[in-house]
Amino acid sequence: MPDNPVVVAALIGGLGNQLFQYAVARSLADRHGASLLLDTSGFENYPLRRYELGELNIRADIAQPEDLLFFKRRQHMSWLGKTFDRMVSKFHPDGNSRIFNEKAFVYDQNIYQQIPPVYLSGYWQSERYFSDKADAIRVDLSLRRPLDQVCQVFIESIRKTNSVSLHVRRGDYVSNAVTARLHGTCSLDYYRAGVAHIASIIEDPHFFIFSDDMDWVAHNLPLTHMSTLVDVNGADRGIMDMALMKACRHHIIANSSFSWWAGWLNPSPDKIVVAPRRWFNEANHDTSDLLPASWVQL
């Protein structure tokens, strides 16, 4: 454990979730001049997803087992015993450790009351946690290395046109019964309305379509406007797809934290971001803090 104050962020879920978890922890750490550690241990028993932030310019280190022991003191004192007590005394003589768990889906202003050292556990899906640090967060979440040659071809087209990213999330939203019941997919009517809204404002829009089910898109979502299916990055190259999506001038996102971030990472004050008003299918979550006020909800 470092000698200076520290914030530890528990990471779990896909890339979009990891970005939220990083952003809230980085914002809190910056407020207090603290170091940031990322707890990636949750992926050891979570085969569906992997840690994906290593390709970005994040300001954080991976937490080591000895770092995490400090925060497990209150929960596991009985089995840690004397060895753990000696570690805590060495790194933090005052024993001032806290674990702050997300209590609900909505923004929790109590985050600002947390003084490092603190361990953050949750999804934190609201820009209100880090909007005052937006410029720094966008720099942190830029690519460490340039896009490869295949992606460069697409980004050149994106930059030359009135580009609009359109994200169709299916995958586990369809194939996994539990996930499908919880989230559901955005309807074709939603995408048609989003396209019509953009086309009513933007001259000659060019839609760049991203999806984990391109065959479905090709057969079910024909567009009368210029469109390109971006099918060059596999499931393990989500970072690259997100870089292409955020380079677009405007966005039609799915009910997915992945495309939420593609829209948010675009720094343009003139961007149009269309988002689904209904984010969950069955989950009883208050999503009033999820979408920025400037985004168009359909």
Per-residue pLDDT, 10: 96
Q: Which of 285, 289, 250, 12 is nearest to 127 (CA)?
A: 289
User: Which of 81-85, 122-126, 152-156: highest mean pLDDT?
Assistant: 122-126
User: Contacts by 68-74 with C-beta closer than 8 Å and gap 24+?
Assistant: 68/8, 68/39, 68/41, 70/1, 70/97, 70/117, 71/8, 71/97, 71/99, 71/117, 71/119, 73/97, 74/99
Instruction: Report which residue type is found at 285.
Output: H
* Better-scored residue on pLDDT, 185 or 24: 24
pLDDT bin (cut points 50, 70, 90) of residue 136 is very high
- Predicted confidence (pLDDT) at residue 140 exceeds the cutoff of 60: yes
What integer is the mean pLDDT of 105-124?
95
What integer is the mean pLDDT of 103-132?
95
Do residues 185 and 170 lie in contact, with contact meaning Cβ atoms separated by under 8 Å?
yes
* Better-scored residue on pLDDT, 196 or 237: 196
Model confidence pLDDT, tens digit, residues 43-62 = 998 887 899 999 999 999 99
- Predicted confidence (pLDDT) at residue 79 exceeds the cutoff of 50: no
The answer, yes or no, to whether the previous bond of 117 is cis (omega within 30 of 0) is yes
pTM of the complete model beyond 0.85: yes
What integer is the mean pLDDT of 87-101?
54
pLDDT bin (cut points 50, 70, 90) of residue 114 is very high
Q: Cα dihedral sign for 122, 128, 134, 136?
A: negative
Q: How far apart are CA 101 and CA 99, in angstroms?
A: 6
Model confidence pLDDT, tens digit, residues 151-201 = 999 999 999 999 999 999 875 554 454 554 666 789 999 999 999 999 999
